[in-house]
Structure 1
Amino acid sequence: MADLDPVTLYGILRLRVDVFVVEQECAYPELDGRDAEPATLHYWCVDESGTPIATARLLTDEFELRIGRVCVHGDHRGEGVTRVLLDRIVADIGDRTSVLDAQAHLEQMYARWGYTAYGPEFVEDGIPHIPMRR
């Protein structure tokens, strides 16, 4: 978090709330305490004004790395910003094992980076998800 200035951090958190809580209508505690962990890496893309339009984070769990909170502002979907984020994250991960819980309709998108389903589909906050591993 040391590399995040307060304005960027606010923009990232607002984007996540706008997408996950408001747009997807999932009332849950978006601020889960993991963003401030020393090993957490934050990724983001900004528009021409410097406002975050896409974000993701990489967590270090006990035995693996976990990609999470991947989201893109609705006005910028289809522009390739998810590709930019995930290309960078996967490059940083290298050969280490990593996991993510994909919204089920995005399973094929994550497969582009070598992620495959490794468990049964589950529902979280009313949205079907699939655990994936690379």
Structure 2
Amino acid sequence: MALFRRKMVSALGSDTSLSGYDAIIDLTRRLNSKFRTAAETQEATRAILNALFPSWLPGAFKWLMGPCKVNDVEIDGGAVGKGHGVLVERCRYLEQAGCASVCINSCKVPTQAFFAKDMGLPLTMTPNYDDFSCQ
């Protein structure tokens, strides 16, 4: 939270006297009022989010996985989650390794655990060993 706050302060040029999550909300409100259009606010927020990670990280993910697209997926008992999925159209990692065990033990299971345990986001990965895609 401290890193996120610093990046928001940097984007706004000023801090807040509030602390904890209240500070994040205050800075967010100020960010929203700073820009004239929703698109400008969204772009500024995207820049803040990008600033949280090393500059090489987004490109590395694209290189590691291959072409991806957002898609709809079935979630929780048959409901359709619009835009809740990411389809790796042809996973370079899976294709180059050519081994289900490598995929499962060095990608699928640890990545799912990372997102669930470290990021707090449930993730299910479903590799397709016939066409090398992964949902």
Instruction: Tell me which interval the TM-score lies in, with the shorter structure as reference length.
Output: under 0.3
TM-score when normalising by structure 2: 0.27
Higher-RCO chain (CA-CA 8 Å, sequence separation at least 6): 1
TM-score, scaled relative to structure 1:
0.28
Counting helix residues as a fraction of each chain, which structure ranks higher? 2
Larger Rg computed on CA atoms: 2
The structure with the largest strand share of the pair is: 1
